[in-house]
Amino acid sequence: MNVDSKLTDIKGIGPKRAEALGHLGLFSMRDLICYSPREYHDLREPTPIIELKHGDYALIAIAELDRIKVAYPSVNGRRTPLVTINVSDGLGRIRLSWFNQPYIRNSIPSSPGGYAYGRVDLTKGRVMVNASFCKEPPGILPVYRLTKGLGQSSLRSCMKAALAAFSEEPIETLPDSVLSEHKLSRLGFAVENIHFPISPEAIKLAKRRLSFENTLYFTVLLESFRARALHSAGIAFETSGMLDEFVSMLPFTPTNGQLEIMHTIDSDMSAPIPMNRLIQGDVGSGKTALAFYAMFVASKNGYQSALMAPTGILAEQHYNKLKRLFGESTVLLTGSLKKAEKAETLERIKNGGAKFIVGTHSLIEGGVVYKDLGLVIADEQHRFGVRQRADLGGKAKSPDVIIMSATPIPRTLSLILYGDLDVSKLTEMPAGRRKVETRFVPSAKRTDMYRYIEKEILEKHIQAFVVCPLIEDSEDVESEFSAEAVFDELKKKLGVRIELIHGRMKPDKREEIMRDFRDGGIDLIVSTTVIEVGVDVPNACIMVIESAERFGLAQLHQLRGRVGRSDKESYCFLLSESRAESVAERIRTLVTSNNGFEIAEKDLISRGPGELLGQRQHGSSPLIEAIASGDLATLTEAREAAIRLLRSRDPADRGFINDVLKRYAPQLKDVAIN
C-alpha cells in the first residue's frame, strides 16, 4: 500500500464511508491525510461549569447526575423528542440537551464519574448542546468540515486508519539539508500531529512543516511557468493612439487608476514577449473596462480575444456590454446555446469573423478553433485553475494573458500565490458609487430587520440578498442559519417574491434564477456564497449575511460588494450569535472600512493567510490548503528557499526540483485560490 492507494484499501474504510468521503473530494490515502482540520477542541482538562462561556466547546467533569427527562415540544406542528439531564461538577450545574435524538438515552451514564463535552449555549439558561460522554479526557480533538452522512467521529476514525497505514511505510519528501537549515519537523511527525496533536506546540510545528513544504512546491511550479513564459516569443501589438480612441468611445470618464493600468497594458502588449498580468480590484472598481481596452487593442491589430467568465450569466453580461461598444464582431459561447446557434458561433470564431469572444469553460473545449487568438482574459481568476487558463492560452501560439480578480490580496501574499504573474492593483472606485453602510444586527433585532427589508422592497422597489454559510442544517455546526431554513422562514413571514439558490442546484437552474433576479422578477434571493461571483444588479441595495462569524473577513467584503452598485443608498447587515471578541473585532473592521486592500492587509496581520484564502472548496488543491495554514513568516521563508533551490547548480538540488515538477505539476489543474 502507498499514499496513492484508494480509500477502500485502508482497513476500516468500506464502500459506504469511501462514498461519503468522495463527496468531500477525498479518493485516496493522500487525499485523506492532506485533509486538514478546520479547528481543534482542546479537551485535555475539564473546565469548571461556573467558568463556562457562551459558544465554548468544553469538557466538564460529572460529579452528580439527575434523572433523564424527555419532553415532546411541538415543532412545525409535530411533537419532537427533547432529551435533557442536569449534571453537576460539584461547583456548578448545567443542563445537557439533545433535540430529536431519543436514542441518546442509551449513551447517558447511569452513575457519576467521567466527563461530558459539547457546545455551551447560555442564551436559554446554562445548557450544553449535543454532549458526548467519555471516561477520560479525550485530549485535543480535530474538527473537520463534513458532508451529509459523515460525522466527526466517523471521519476521525477514517483518519486514524489512514495514518496507521501511512506509518507502516514512513516517507520523507524534503532533503535533510532543507529540514536542518529551516528547523522543520519530519513529515511523519507533521502528518500525525496535524490530525491528532499531542499539544498546541505540536500543532504549530506540524503546520509550519506542511505550509513550508507546500509553499516551496507551489513557488517552484509557478516560477517554472514564469521562466517558460519569459522565453516565449509573443505578439508585439501596435498601441499608438489607441488609448485616446478607446476612451472617447466610453459613456463615462475613466478613473486615474484605470488610465494608469491602461498605460501599463499598452506597455505589456507592445512588448515582444507574452503579457501575463493579474489585475486586482474591489468589486465594482472598473476592472472590466481594462479588459475591454486590451480586447480593443487586439482587434485593431487584427487579432481575436477571448474573455472567459465563471458563469453563463456573467458571460452574458460581458457580452451585452461588449456588443454595445463593438457591435456585431462580438459573440457569446456558453453551454446553454442551441445546437444551430453554437455551430454558427463556432464557425464565426474559426473564420475570424468574431473578434470579441465571450464565454464560460466552453471556450476551452476541444471543438473551439480560433483563427488568430492574440489575447486571453480570465475573469475572477480564483474560479479558474492555473491549468485551465493555460488550456485557453494553448488555443493560440503565445497569446497575451490578463487575469482579473476582485479578491484583494496583500503584495507579500501575491508574490506567493501569483508568482508567475505581474500584478496591478485598482484601488480607486468610479464616481457615482456610494459607500455601503454596514451594520451589526443583534439576534434580538433580527425579526425587525427583516420587516424593515420587506418595507424597503415594497415601498422603494429595491432588491436584496440574504447569504447563509450552509445549504442545509448540519449536526456538526450548532446555532447556524442554513439557506434552506432561512428560505422557508422568510417565505412564510415576508410578502415579497423570494427564491433560493445554492451550489447543489444545476448551473442552468441557478443562472435562470439569477437572470430573473437581475431582470426584476424576484425581490429577494436567499443563497450560499454562489452569488459571491455574480451578476451586476444595480437595484440590489441590501445584503444580509447570516452567521457572519462563519465567513472570512475578505469573503465578507466580497459579499458586501454585491450591493452598492448604483447611486442608491445601500446596506450590509451582519448577523452573528457568537460572543467571541475575535468575531466582534472582525465585524468592527467591516463596519468601519470599505477598502478591500486595507481589510486584506489587516486580516493578514491579525489572522494569517488562511482567512484570505477562504475555506477549502470541493476539488481545490492540498497545496493551497497547507499554504493557508501557515504564518506569513513561514510562507516568505519557504518562497525564498524555493528561489534559492531553483537558482542552484548543485546536482542534488536540481534533482529535487525535477522531482517536484514531475510529481506536482498535474495538481496545478486543481488549484483554486479562493
Q: What pLDDT was estimated at residue 617?
A: 34
Strand 373-379 and strand 356-359: pairing?
unpaired
Q: Give tens-digit pLDDT for 442-486.
A: 888 999 999 999 999 999 999 999 999 888 654 444 445 789 999
Q: If pLDDT is split at 50, 70 and 90, which confidence band does 432 have?
A: low
Q: Is the pLDDT of residue 108 over 70?
A: yes
Note the pLDDT of residue 627.
60
Q: Of residues 520 and 504, which shows the higher confidence score?
A: 520
The sign one gets for the Cα dihedral 409, 414, 416, 419 is positive
| Choice between 617 and 670, residue whose per-residue pLDDT is larger | 670
Q: In this predicted structure, what is the pLDDT of residue 651?
A: 92
Which ranges constitute the DSSP H helices of 336-481? 339-351, 386-393, 411-417, 446-460
Handedness of CA 20, 21, 24, 25 (dihedral sign): negative
Q: Does position 36 have pLDDT exceeding 90, yes or no?
A: no
More confident residue, 22 or 361: 22
Work out the mean pLDDT of the chain and round it to a whole number. Answer: 85
150-159, 249-258, 286-295, 561-570: the lowest-pLDDT one: 561-570
Q: How far apart are CA 455 and CA 251, in angstroms?
A: 34
CATH number of 1-38+148-171: 1.10.150.20
- Average pLDDT of 261-271? 95
User: Which helix (DSSP H) or strand (DSSP E) does residue 70 occupy?
Assistant: strand 69-71
Q: Mean of the pLDDT values across residues 142-163? A: 90
- Per residue in 542-572, pLDDT (tens digit) is 999 998 888 877 778 888 888 888 888 999 9
Residue from 4, 13, 34 nearest 621 by CA: 34
Residue 672 predicted with pLDDT over 50: no
Distance of CA 602 to the CA centre of its chain: 18
Angle at 12 between CA 6 and CA 17, to 5 degrees: 65
Residues spanned by CATH 3.40.50.300 within the chain?
Answer: 237-271+286-405, 437-593
Which has the minimum average pLDDT: 286-290, 566-570, 615-619? 615-619
Residue-level pLDDT at 613: 44
155-182: per-residue pLDDT in tens?
A: 999 999 999 988 876 688 898 889 999 9
Higher pLDDT, 220 or 507: 220
Strands 78-79 and 74-75: antiparallel
Look up the CATH superfamily of 437-593.
P-loop containing nucleotide triphosphate hydrolases (3.40.50.300)
H or E segment and range at residue 172: none
Place of cell 442552468: 508
Residue range 94-120: average pLDDT?
93
Using 50, 70 and 90 to split pLDDT, how confident is the model at 304?
A: very high
**Stretch among 97-101, 413-417, 579-583 having the lowest mean pLDDT:** 413-417
H/E segment holding residue 586 = helix 581-592
Is 117 strand, coil or helix?
strand
Alpha helices in 272-338 (DSSP H): 287-300, 312-326
Q: Please, where in the chain does CATH 1.10.150.20 lie? A: 1-38+148-171
Predicted local confidence at residue 335, as pLDDT: 80
Q: pLDDT higher for 511 or 382?
A: 511
Please name the residues in contact with 326: beta carbons below 8 A apart, sequence gap of 6 or more. Answer: 295, 296, 299, 355, 356
pTM of this prediction?
0.67
Which grid cell is 581?
471578541
Q: For 237-271+286-405, which CATH class?
A: alpha beta
| Domain 45-136 is found in CATH 1.25.40.10 | no
Residue 543's pLDDT is 95
Residue-wise pLDDT for 357-409, tens only, equals 999 878 877 788 999 999 989 886 545 555 555 566 566 677 888 988 876 66
What phi, psi does 44 have (nearest 5°)?
-75, -30
Residue 628 confidence class, pLDDT cut points 50, 70, 90: low
Q: What's the burial of 431, exposed, middle or buried (CB within 10 Å: 0-12/13-18/19+)? A: exposed
Q: Is the pLDDT of residue 10 over 50?
A: yes
* CB hemisphere CA count around 96 (13 angstroms): 30
> What pLDDT was estimated at residue 276?
84
- Report which of residues 203 and 635 the model is more confident about: 203
